[in-house]
Structures are given as C-alpha cells and as structure tokens.
Structure 1
Amino acid sequence: MRSTRADRHDSDLTTRARIRDAAIHVFGQQGFDAGVRAVAADAGVSIGLVNHHFGSKQGLRAVCDDHVLGIITTEKRNVLTAPGPGPMLASLAAIDHYAPLVAYLVRSFRAGGELSTTLFEHMVAGVRDYLDAAVSEGRIRPSRDPAARARYLAMNSLGSTLLYLQMHSEPDGTVDIAHTLRTMTDDIMFPALELFTEGLFTDSTLLDAYARPRPRSS
C-alpha cells in the first residue's frame, strides 16, 4: 500500500507532502470549514509555508483530492490486475489505514458544491482507468458501455459507504471511521464478490429487453 499519514513518519516526507497529509487529516476530522491555520499547526509549519506551497486553501484541497484518488485508483488497479488474491488480501488486512482517506472523501461529498462535483468526476475517471486495465489483463469482462459502468460503480460504492457511515454514526453525528470501515468491509465483501463473480440473473432477458431500441414518446 502507498504510504499514508497513518503509517509513515513525518521525517520521511517532504514538507509539501507533510502539509498535504496534514490537510487530509484535518479536513477529514473537522470538515472544510477548518482553516489553513489548523492545517499548518497539524503539519508543524507556518501559515506562510502552506500558502507558499499551495497558493490557497482551494489549491491545497485540489492537491488533496488528487492524492486521495490517486491512492485509491492505484490500489484498485493493483487488486484487479493481479494474477492472484494476494494484493486483495493484503489490502483488506490493512483496511484501517484507509480511514483518513475515507474520512476526507465523506467530508467532501457531504459538503457538496462544485469541488465535490469535480471530485466525483475524477473518481469516475479513476474507476474507468482501473477497469480498463483489468479488462486488458483479462481479469474483468468487457462492457457494452465502459463509461456508464464506471459511473454506476462509482455511485454504488460512494453511496453505500455514505449510507453505512450515516447508519453507524453516533447521535451527535460522529463516527469511528476506522472501526466502521472494517465492519462495513466484513459485511459487504462476500456478497459483493459473489455478485461480481457469479452474477445475479440466470439469463439476459431483462438486459436484452432494455437494450433494444424503444419508440420515443411524442
């Protein structure tokens, strides 16, 4: 797994990377109302140094978005293109390390707005990227509409995660992301793998009917 704030010492990071990881942590814990001052304090640097590296809070958030999605896309590609189950099992064993990334994504999509819309479109592109790689490796079946499949899977994954976290949050809205992520994985991994591997319907009747051209309503 690529290093995250949870499993890498600050001394191993460049200043820019340390600020980025601190921002992911702060925004994931406090939301995007948290200011640059909080990020600087968490990273152990001055506000001026944050602005020097990222220009603005929005610039910092854009870098965080790219980093979070980059980790997720790389991990998914590694799992789906591997010839055996080793990478998947290793990723599941270390699922707690993804908690800061998930917390950041949850905060972003709950905040809404243009930045979350852009983040989602980047997420869809990442899904398309690792699905295409897995198709090329013969690990996943080709799709009649790869773009639509990628969008559906991104929506399904994000929606189920947000719902699960909401259902397992405390009355004050707080949630133990690491624990809940582990619980969610234990609950959904087997049925998800079964569904993706063996399918659901016994024939293609519904798909064929829906795929046929239909007369347009006047």
Structure 2
Amino acid sequence: MTASDLSTAARIRDAAIEVFGDQGFAVGVRAIAAAAGVSPGLVNHHFGSKEGLRAVCDDRVLELIRDKKVQTITAENVGKGMLAALAEVEEYGPLVAYMVRSLQAGGPLAASLFEHMVSDADAYIQAGVETGTIKPSRDPAARARYLMLLNVGATVLWMQMREQRGEKRDYRKAIRELTEELTPPALEFYTQGLLTDPSLLETVLPPKPEK
C-alpha cells in the first residue's frame, strides 16, 4: 500500500470507530464512507467488507487503550500520570462508545474483543508490577480478568442506564461524567483495599509454596 492508501485506510478506520460507536454495528458502509469523505467502494477496497473493517477497528481500539494504560501505569510518577490521563479522558469517548456497542452487540467479535482486553490488561498490569507501581498478584491472569469484568461491565451498564434515561448520546460528555462519579471510590478501593482481615484470602487462596 502506498502512503496515500495507508492514510485513506486510517481515515476510514477512525471514522468507522466513531460511527460504529454512535450508531451501532447495524449501520451501513455508506454512512461510514460519508463520515470518512470517501466512496463506499473505497471502504470495501481497503477492508473487503464491513466485518473486515470492524476487525481493524477492534485492533485500533485495543492498541490505543493498551498504549495509554502502559504509559500511565509505568510512569515514573504514577499519580501524576493518572491525573494527566483523567484530564484528557474525553478524548477516549469514541473508544468507550465503540467498546460498549461491541459488547452490547454480542457474538464472536464481541467475545474476541473482551478476551483481547483481558490479555492486554494482564500484560500492562504486569508492566506496572515490574516498575513497582502495582502490587504483585498470586494469580495475575485471574486478577486481570476480574478487573476487566468489573470495569468494563460497570462501564457498559452505566452507559446503558444513561441511554435508557433518554439522555443525549454524547460519549465524550458521558465518559467525563462516568470518570468523575467512579474514580474516587475506585481509587480508594485500589489504594486502600476493602477488608481489614486478610484471613479469608489465606483460606480461599493460600500462598503458593516457594520453589
């Protein structure tokens, strides 16, 4: 592909992320082409089909989320990094909208997206462990899956309830409201924990014997 082709493909992909997030995956190729300022034939030329385009959008959403998480978690001053991420959270409105729409749609692509999110979380949390900003886990993979179920599930439910109340579909505004509502209790939970007695953990999940 030439540089021009790559630029056109990236423009279509980025427009598709926004259109899918705003209108769902039943939207036609013509709407995506119009948003990208190209012909429907050019969309099919680059991606083969709407399903092919969606797979590329999945990869891009995962990439952007993963890169930002790694940057924040491994920052020399993790608190400052998190504050910076919170300050620009509206930028991630289209990505959150896309994720919500995908998981609501269900099916193999939604399941694949979630499994990739879990795998990425496992990797960037481990990066935080290695830099000393996150405590190690007795079962890193299980922790990553739990956190994704907790955070992604809460996001999908919060967004769905917002839509059911008839509020305007503005995902940049919505992600700001979600962040302001959930960040304080989440930070308390993450930094201070919940239970004062650790004996339950020792009973359910004993420490692994040292080799």
TM-score (norm 1): 0.87
Q: Distance in 2 between matches of 1:41 and 1:169?
A: 25
CA contact (8 A) 1:169 1:175 kept: yes
Q: 3-state DSSP class of the match of 2:163?
A: coil
Identical counterparts, % of pairs: 55
CA contact (8 A) 2:19 2:32 kept: yes
Q: 3-state DSSP class of the match of 1:136?
A: helix
* Partner residue, 1:4: none
Residue 198 of structure 2 corresponds to residue 182 of structure 1: no
* Partner residue, 2:159: 165
Deviations 1:96-132 (A, max 9, x none): 1111111111110110111100110011011011001
* Partner residue, 1:101: 95
Residue type of the partner of 2:101? R
CA contact (8 A) 2:70 2:124 kept: yes
Q: 3-state DSSP class of the match of 2:138?
A: coil
* Partner residue, 1:30: 23
Q: Distance in 1 between matches of 2:160 and 2:125?
A: 28
Alignment partner for residue 125 of structure 1, among 119, 122, 127?
A: 119
Residue type of the partner of 1:18? R
TM-score (norm 2): 0.90
Residue 195 of structure 2 corresponds to residue 201 of structure 1: yes
* Partner residue, 1:42: 35
Correspondences of 1:56-71 after superposition (within 5 Å): 56-71=49-64
Post-superposition offset of 1:86: 2.7
Post-superposition offset of 1:49: 1.4
How many residue pairs get aligned? The number is: 201
* Partner residue, 1:90: 84
Alignment partner for residue 192 of structure 1, among 186, 192, 203?
A: 186
Residue type of the partner of 2:21? G
Q: Distance in 1 between matches of 2:44 and 2:69?
A: 32
Residue 73 of structure 2 corresponds to residue 80 of structure 1: yes
CA contact (8 A) 2:22 2:169 kept: no
- Please tell me the root mean square deviation across aligned C-alpha atoms, in Å: 1.7
Residue type of the partner of 1:32? F
Q: Distance in 2 between matches of 1:63 and 1:117?
A: 15
* Partner residue, 1:115: 109
* Partner residue, 1:156: 150
Post-superposition offset of 1:55: 1.3
Q: Distance in 1 between matches of 2:196 and 2:41?
A: 61
Post-superposition offset of 1:91: 1.3
CA contact (8 A) 1:165 1:175 kept: no
* Partner residue, 2:9: 16
Q: Distance in 1 between matches of 2:80 and 2:165?
A: 39
Post-superposition offset of 1:171: 4.2
Q: Distance in 2 between matches of 1:50 and 1:177?
A: 25
CA contact (8 A) 2:21 2:100 kept: yes
Flag as ranges the 4+ runs of structure 1 deviating above 2 A.
166-176
Residue type of the partner of 2:38? V
* Partner residue, 1:146: 140
CA contact (8 A) 1:77 1:133 kept: yes
Deviations 1:17-38 (A, max 9, x none): 1000110011111110111111
Tell me which moved more, 170-179 or 70-79.
170-179
Q: Distance in 2 between matches of 1:149 and 1:170?
A: 31
Q: Distance in 2 between matches of 1:170 and 1:140?
A: 37
